[in-house]
């Protein structure tokens, strides 16, 4: 073991290796020295556990890899060929060019973010989105925060802390990624009162649970699952009517928050924000980066007096939205105002993409891959906790793996190669075949996908 220690080079010796010296051209010397020390220290530890000393090449390569990995961004653009349009792991909604331009402009210089250009005095960032949100949803007032989870938390804390909030048992659910209605409720300091059963809740269940401590009735859209068979939920308008009768606000967590009628696209109906407002919800809350197709945000629309209470609450400052996303959201909402969302917002372009166009692209991809690939019928899904169980007919490129021997199946190996390429291409695996859906790939990326597939299959 002693002799193994002696085979390790000194720090200076390691630093004089060509592969390590090269690093100093584009990285600071301090960083290279520190990483070289670290790598040597780790080798000493592994020798004391009985391993042999690494070769000079291995040490130099380890230093080079680690320095480059530290300096390079790990957040990379990827190509989404999964057919899941709003994919939370892949960053949800891609933005329109107009939204991207607006965000770039807001980042480049200064803006009147919180300045009233008329008076020269202090303004509020909510004024930039309030009017357009009210116009699009029919609400009296609006505010925008970091994301929908913070919107719901803010509403519960500002309006319901130390009081009771009534929720249907079928809606005290987990939305995914750790957003559990009962846990959010606990964090807000509001007491959750569950009513009804897992599959059935009636207006009378809410009514009987109302006490002098009740602060609100909450509706949570079951955005990522569907109860089929014998099931009964209370309609938001019936809930709002009960609220009016009892003087209680109805808070509506819509999740995705759609502004267009999904039924017109062959999808199941998703509750829209204007419907929620018109039905009498006191506050309707939804995400900016799901079906709306904008940047990450939490949007709260509803009664002016309640929005004002949220805006005044100290937590509002902690969950406020930044200027770039505010600009991107304003541009995204602009598409809806102009009636061009379907043409300009990528999420809606993908939903509305004609099947013929998808098939033509799938055949073009397959043509470059020869025997290995075929085109087949399949389904794209909207994803992002919206429209569970509702898919869009699509055409998939299917690459069948040969029946697997030991270890990962051929399909898994191919999917992995695609994922590890640059740019990474994300595919779906089903029944030992790799499936790729052109619907979620921007058409200008088609040559990149073809190239990645050719490389991975070579
Ligand atoms: C997605 C979702 C949330 C969380 O929204 P984020 O914008 O991801 O914070 C909350 N409630 C429902 C019903 C959702 O679908």
Nearest in space to 78 (alpha carbons), one of 451, 450, 445: 445
Say which range, 101-110, 174-183, 313-322, 353-362, has the weakest mean pLDDT.
174-183
pLDDT of residue 223: 67
Q: Which atom of ligand 1 is nearest to the CA of 298?
A: 7
Residue 228 has pLDDT above 80, yes or no: no
**Residue 147 CB less than 6 A away from ligand 1:** yes
Nearest 5 degrees, angle CA 296-CA 299-CA 303?
A: 175
**Residue 221 CB less than 6 A away from ligand 1:** yes
Residue 72 has pLDDT above 60, yes or no: yes
- Using alpha carbons, list the distances in angstroms from residue 1 to 53, 275, 372, 452: 9, 74, 52, 46
**Cα-to-centroid distance, 175 and ligand 1 (Å):** 7
Residue 389 has pLDDT above 80, yes or no: no
**Cα-to-centroid distance, 85 and ligand 1 (Å):** 16
Nearest CA to ligand 1 atom 3: 255
Higher pLDDT, 175 or 44: 44
Domains of the chain: 2-71 (no CATH), 79-87+349-457 (3.90.1150.180), 97-344 (3.40.640.10)
Render pLDDT for 288-312 as a digit per residue (tens, 0 to 9): 999 999 999 999 999 999 999 999 9
Nearest in space to 355 (alpha carbons), one of 394, 387, 327, 381: 394
Is residue 1 classed exposed, middle or buried when 0-12, 13-18 and 19+ CB atoms within 10 A define those classes?
exposed
Confidence of residue 408 (pLDDT cuts 50, 70, 90): confident
**Cα-to-centroid distance, 181 and ligand 1 (Å):** 10
Render pLDDT for 296-354 as a digit per residue (tens, 0 to 9): 999 999 999 999 999 999 999 999 999 999 999 999 999 999 999 999 999 999 999 99
Average pLDDT of the residues in 429-447: 95
**Cα-to-centroid distance, 202 and ligand 1 (Å):** 24
**Residue 385 CB less than 6 A away from ligand 1:** yes
Confidence of residue 177 (pLDDT cuts 50, 70, 90): low
**How far does Cα 364 stand from its chain's mean position?**
30
**Residue 386 CB less than 6 A away from ligand 1:** no
Nearest CA to ligand 1 atom 2: 255
Nearest CA to ligand 1 atom 1: 255
Handedness of CA 69, 72, 78, 84 (dihedral sign): positive
Residue 230 has pLDDT above 80, yes or no: no
pLDDT of residue 263: 87
**Cα-to-centroid distance, 256 and ligand 1 (Å):** 7
Residue 382 has pLDDT above 80, yes or no: yes
Nearest CA to ligand 1 atom 5: 148
Report how far apart the first and last C-alpha atoms of the chain are (Å, whole number).
Answer: 44
Burial of 276-308, coded b for 16+ CB within 10 Å and e otherwise, reads: bbebbbbbbbbbbbbbbbbbbbbbbbbbeebbe
- Using alpha carbons, list the distances in angstroms from residue 73 to 67, 154, 225, 420: 12, 33, 35, 15
Q: Which residues pair with 193 in a beta bridge?
A: 166
pLDDT of residue 405: 53
Q: Which atom of ligand 1 is nearest to the CA of 150?
A: 9
Confidence of residue 245 (pLDDT cuts 50, 70, 90): very high
Confidence of residue 406 (pLDDT cuts 50, 70, 90): low
**Cα-to-centroid distance, 427 and ligand 1 (Å):** 25
Query: Taking the model in full, what pTM does it have?
Result: 0.91
Percent of the chain scored above 90 by pLDDT?
80
pLDDT of residue 174: 79
Phi, psi (rounded to 5 degrees) for 246: -100, 0
pLDDT of residue 402: 56
DSSP for 290-321 reads STT-SSS-EEEEE-HHHHHHHHHSHHHHHTBP
Residue 227 has pLDDT above 90, yes or no: no
- Using alpha carbons, list the distances in angstroms from residue 273 to 286, 306, 420: 8, 17, 40
Query: Is the distance from CB of 281 to CB of 252 less than 8 angstroms?
Result: yes
Confidence of residue 390 (pLDDT cuts 50, 70, 90): confident
Say which range, 164-178, 186-200, 400-414, has the weakest mean pLDDT.
400-414
Nearest CA to ligand 1 atom 7: 148
**Cα-to-centroid distance, 146 and ligand 1 (Å):** 11
What's the chain's average pLDDT? 93
């Amino acid at each position: 073991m002693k002799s193994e220690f002696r085979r390790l080079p000194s720090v200076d010796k390691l630093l004089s290796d060509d592969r390590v010296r090269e690093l100093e051209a584009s990285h600071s010397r301090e960083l290279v020295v520190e990483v070289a020390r670290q790598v040597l220290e780790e080798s000493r530890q592994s020798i004391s556990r009985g391993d042999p000393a690494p070769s000079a090449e291995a040490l130099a390569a380890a230093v080079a890899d680690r320095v480059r990995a530290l300096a390079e961004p790990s957040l990379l653009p990827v190509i989404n060929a999964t057919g899941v349009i709003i994919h939370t792991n892949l960053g949800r909604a891609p933005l329109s060019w107009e939204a991207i331009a607006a965000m770039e402009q807001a980042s480049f210089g200064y803006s009147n973010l919180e300045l009233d250009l008329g008076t020269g005095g202090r303004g509020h960032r909510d004024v930039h989105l309030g009017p357009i949100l009210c116009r699009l949803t029919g609400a009296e007032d609006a505010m925008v925060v970091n994301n929908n989870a913070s919107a719901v938390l803010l509403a519960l804390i500002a309006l319901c802390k130390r009081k009771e909030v009534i929720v249907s048992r079928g809606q005290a659910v987990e939305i995914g990624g750790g957003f559990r209605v009962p846990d959010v409720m606990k964090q807000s300091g509001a007491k959750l009162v569950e009513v009804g059963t897992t599959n059935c809740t009636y207006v009378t269940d809410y009514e009987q649970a109302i006490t002098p401590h009740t602060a609100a009735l909450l509706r949570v859209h079951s955005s990522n699952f569907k109860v089929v068979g014998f099931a009964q939920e209370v309609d938001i308008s019936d809930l709002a009517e009960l609220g009016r009768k009892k003087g209680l606000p109805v808070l509506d967590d819509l999740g995705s928050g759609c502004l267009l009628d999904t039924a017109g696209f062959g999808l199941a109906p998703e509750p829209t924000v204007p419907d929620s407002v018109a039905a009498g919800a006191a506050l309707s809350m939804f995400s900016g980066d799901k079906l709306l197709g904008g940047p990450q945000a939490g949007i709260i629309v509803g009664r002016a007096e309640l929005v004002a209470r949220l805006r005044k609450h100290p937590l509002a400052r902690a969950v406020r939205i930044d200027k770039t996303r505010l600009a991107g959201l304003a541009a995204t909402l602009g598409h809806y105002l102009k009636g061009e969302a379907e043409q300009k917002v990528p999420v809606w372009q993908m939903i509305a993409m004609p099947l013929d166009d998808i098939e033509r692209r799938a055949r073009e991809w397959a043509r470059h891959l020869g025997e290995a690939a075929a085109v087949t019928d399949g389904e794209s899904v909207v994803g992002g906790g919206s429209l569970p169980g509702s898919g869009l007919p699509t055409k998939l490129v299917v690459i069948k793996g040969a029946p697997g021997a030991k270890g990962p199946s051929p399909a898994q190996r191919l999917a992995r190669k695609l994922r590890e390429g640059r740019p990474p291409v994300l595919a779906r695996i089903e029944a030992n075949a790799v499936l790729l859906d052109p619907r979620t790939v921007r058409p200008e990326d088609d040559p990149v996908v073809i190239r990645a597939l050719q490389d991975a299959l070579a």
